[in-house]
């Protein structure tokens, strides 16, 4: 399959907006990941498989809430394969810390009260990181959506349900796309 | 050192495994929604208490037994709501099965348990039995989803096959008829809210059952003349 360019990845997940409101681009970064570079193995089942930290800045005026989707446009039938969704994110935070709880009984970190996780491709309301087959290299698109309303959506939405719910509320979008490749079989197994 | 603190929100932990496709205990409740848990059963007539079998397993080493016990304990944990699979004798059930009907699975258990521990050390930096409950759950989710394959940790085929085998046997050992060595003290049936085998259910019994007030019958199905164990050695 022809690999997607990073620009095409950003376009692929851009939610359609009304003609009067084109989503504004804002900055999404991470203290531990960089677009176009390998993400640390702790964000995959080769390590602790915890959610990575994200930061954002330059949100458009009028942002009231945020939503994040992590997906692999080179996997899934049909693509993309969803690794993580988290929404109902309060506008007061400037990012997500590493290690968002995967157990619903554990509280969200301070400032993220009310944030909710949707169902990933495995049907689980949690982050589950990259496990590309063999030693293939895949790209993992973190899309952050700025919304013009506090939608307070229910937990456990699918990607289609989330995109449908936020479709008319997206006023901004930021992206970053690190990649990942599993360690080859000859890798040293000592942690 | 293993995390000594226990999660005090057992509903969400059991629901976590249910949502991971593990078909947790509540999903087996007759007529109950998956998210609901049984009300406490009314007091049954006193019966002599069995003791969960202890001592070494015949088919696994002490280390393998420790790892298996830690895994089984996460699948159906003992917690504030009551005992779990270990107390229900699931390990002894599995060992008996490996000596009898599941003898072909002994090597699969030994290979899988070694791989589980290897994966735990490789990804979480510690043996499986020393992880916190949260980290054990995280490891088991990766194993169940087939993601525990990096750097050849040792699972034969998909790690999910090993998970499903142990889960299936744990369920059987916890909820099956106690004749087969598990469900000690009817712990498993109490988890389900199953009131026990009855040959007759009167209208009053039905009303009491619907109200969650039917006293449980603590008997194996094979104590009734209508049921007989068939197959295997005669």
What is the model's pLDDT at position B1?
35
- Antiparallel, parallel or unpaired: β A54-57 and A179-181: unpaired
Q: Is the pLDDT of residue B4 over 70?
A: no
pLDDT band at B36 (very low <50, low <70, confident <90, very high): very low
Quote the minimal CA–CA distance from B68 to chain A in Å: 21
Q: Is the residue at B212 inside a domain?
A: no
Query: A102 vs B152: CB contact, 8 Å cut-off?
Result: no
Question: Which residue in the block uniquely carries the two structure tokens 């969803």?
Answer: A82
pLDDT along chain A (191 residues), means of 10: 49 47 92 98 96 98 98 96 98 97 94 97 97 92 98 97 98 98 56 42
Structure tokens at A24: 């504004």
What is the model's pLDDT at position B226?
79
What is the model's pLDDT at position B227?
79
Is there a contact between B91 and B173 (Cβ–Cβ < 8 Å)?
yes
Cβ neighbours for A189, distance < 8 A, ≥ 6 positions apart? B118, B122, B151, B152, B153
Q: Is the residue at A23 inside a domain?
A: no
What is the model's pLDDT at position B17?
40
Is there a contact between B85 and B75 (Cβ–Cβ < 8 Å)?
yes
Quote the minimal CA–CA distance from B153 to chain A in Å: 8
Considering only CB atoms, which chain A residues are within 8 Å of B122? 46, 189-191
Q: Is the residue at A67 inside a domain?
A: yes
Q: Is the residue at B204 inside a domain?
A: no
Q: Which residues of B touch A (CB under 8 A)?
A: 7, 9, 11-13, 15-16, 19-21, 118, 121-125, 134-135, 137-138, 141-142, 145, 147-153
Q: In the predicted model, what is the mean pLDDT of chain B?
A: 79
The tally of domains found in chain A comes to 1
Structure tokens at B40: 């406490």
Q: Is the residue at A22 inside a domain?
A: no
Q: Is the pLDDT of residue B176 over 50?
A: yes
Question: Which residue in the block uniquely carries the two structure tokens 């009817």?
Answer: B186
- Cα distance between residue B77 and residue B7, in whole Å: 10
Is there a contact between B176 and B183 (Cβ–Cβ < 8 Å)?
yes
- Cα distance between residue A45 and residue B150, in whole Å: 8
- Cα distance between residue B70 and residue B72, in whole Å: 6
Q: Is the residue at A68 inside a domain?
A: yes
Q: Is the pLDDT of residue B46 over 50?
A: no
Look up the domain containing A88 and give its range: 6-14+29-181
What is the model's pLDDT at position B161?
95
- pLDDT digits 0-9 by tens, B107-121: 999 999 999 999 999
What is the model's pLDDT at position B56?
76
Q: Is the residue at A158 inside a domain?
A: yes
| Local structure of residue A67 (DSSP, 8 states) | E
- Antiparallel, parallel or unpaired: β A141-147 and A170-176: antiparallel
What is the model's pLDDT at position B199?
86
- Report the candidate in B145, B108, B148 with the shortest Cα–Cα distance to residue B128: B148
Q: pLDDT: is B27 or B134 the higher one?
A: B134
Q: Is the residue at B119 inside a domain?
A: yes
Helices B90-99 and B159-175: angle between axes, nearest 10 degrees: 110
Quote the minimal CA–CA distance from A167 to chain B in Å: 27
Q: Is the pLDDT of residue B202 over 60?
A: yes
What is the model's pLDDT at position A94?
97
Beta-bridge partners for A146? A66, A172
ipTM above 0.95, yes or no: no
Which secondary-structure segment (H or E) carries A171?
strand A170-176
Structure tokens at A45: 């089942």
What is the model's pLDDT at position B212?
84
CATH number, domain of A130, equals 3.90.280.10
Q: Is the residue at B2 inside a domain?
A: no
Q: Is the pLDDT of residue B158 over 70?
A: yes
Q: Is the residue at B14 inside a domain?
A: no
Q: Is the residue at A76 inside a domain?
A: yes
Query: A124 vs B19: CB contact, 8 Å cut-off?
Result: yes
- pLDDT digits 0-9 by tens, B52-99: 556 678 899 999 999 999 999 999 999 888 899 999 999 999 999 999
Which secondary-structure segment (H or E) carries B210?
helix B203-210
**A33-37, B8-12, B115-119, B168-172: which range is least confident on average?**
B8-12
- Report the candidate in B156, B153, B123 with the shortest Cα–Cα distance to residue B139: B123
What is the model's pLDDT at position B21?
36
Look up the domain containing B189 and give its range: 51-194
- Cα distance between residue B229 and residue B142, in whole Å: 38
Cβ neighbours for A12, distance < 8 A, ≥ 6 positions apart? A4, A73, A80, A141
Q: Is the residue at A189 inside a domain?
A: no
- Cα distance between residue B170 and residue B89, in whole Å: 9
Q: Is the residue at A79 inside a domain?
A: yes
- Chain A interface mutation, best of B24, B122, B127, B140, highest count of A Cβ atoms under 10 Å: B122
Q: What is the pTM of this model?
A: 0.81
The tally of domains found in chain B comes to 1
């Amino acid at each position: 399959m022809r690999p997607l360019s990073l620009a095409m990845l950003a376009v692929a997940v851009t939610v359609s907006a009304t003609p009067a409101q084109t989503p504004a681009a804002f900055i999404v970064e991470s203290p531990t990941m960089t677009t176009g570079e390998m993400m640390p193995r702790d964000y995959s089942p080769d390590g602790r498989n915890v959610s990575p930290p994200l930061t954002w800045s330059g949100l458009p005026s009028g942002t009231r809430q945020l939503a994040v989707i992590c997906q692999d446009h080179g996997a899934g039938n049909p693509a993309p394969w969803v690794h993580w969704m988290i929404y109902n994110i309060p506008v007061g935070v400037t990012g997500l810390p590493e290690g968002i709880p995967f157990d619903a009984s554990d509280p969200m970190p301070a400032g993220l009260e009310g944030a909710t996780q949707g169902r990933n491709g495995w049907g689980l309301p949690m982050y589950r990181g990259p496990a590309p087959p063999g030693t293939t290299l895949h790209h993992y698109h973190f899309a952050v959506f700025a919304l013009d309303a506090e939608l307070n959506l229910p937990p456990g939405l699918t990607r289609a349900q989330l995109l449908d719910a936020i479709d008319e509320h997206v006023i901004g979008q930021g992206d970053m796309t690190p990649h990942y490749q599993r360690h080859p079989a000859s890798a040293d197994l000592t942690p | 050192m293993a995390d000594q603190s226990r999660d005090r929100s057992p509903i969400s932990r059991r629901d976590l495994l249910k949502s991971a496709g593990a078909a947790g205990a509540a999903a087996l409740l007759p007529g109950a929604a998956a998210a609901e848990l049984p009300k406490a059963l009314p007091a049954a007539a006193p019966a002599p208490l069995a003791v969960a079998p202890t001592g070494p397993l015949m088919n696994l080493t002490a280390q393998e037994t420790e790892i298996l016990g830690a895994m089984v304990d996460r699948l159906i944990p003992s917690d504030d709501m009551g005992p779990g699979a270990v107390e229900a004798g699931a390990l002894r059930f599995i060992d008996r099965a490996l000596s009898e009907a599941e003898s072909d699975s002994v090597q699969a258990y030994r290979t899988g348990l070694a791989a589980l521990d290897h994966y735990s050390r490789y990804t979480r930096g510690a043996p499986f039995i020393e992880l916190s409950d949260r980290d054990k759950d995280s490891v088991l989710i990766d194993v169940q989803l087939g993601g525990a394959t990096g750097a050849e940790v040792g699972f034969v085929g998909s790690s999910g096959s090993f998970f499903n085998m142990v889960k299936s046997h744990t369920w059987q050992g916890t909820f099956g008829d106690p004749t087969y060595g598990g469900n000690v003290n009817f712990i498993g049936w109490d988890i389900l809210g199953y009131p026990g085998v009855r040959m007759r259910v009167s209208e009053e019994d039905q009303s009491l059952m619907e109200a969650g007030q039917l006293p449980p019958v603590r008997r194996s199905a094979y104590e009734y003349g209508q049921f007989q164990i068939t197959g295997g050695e005669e």
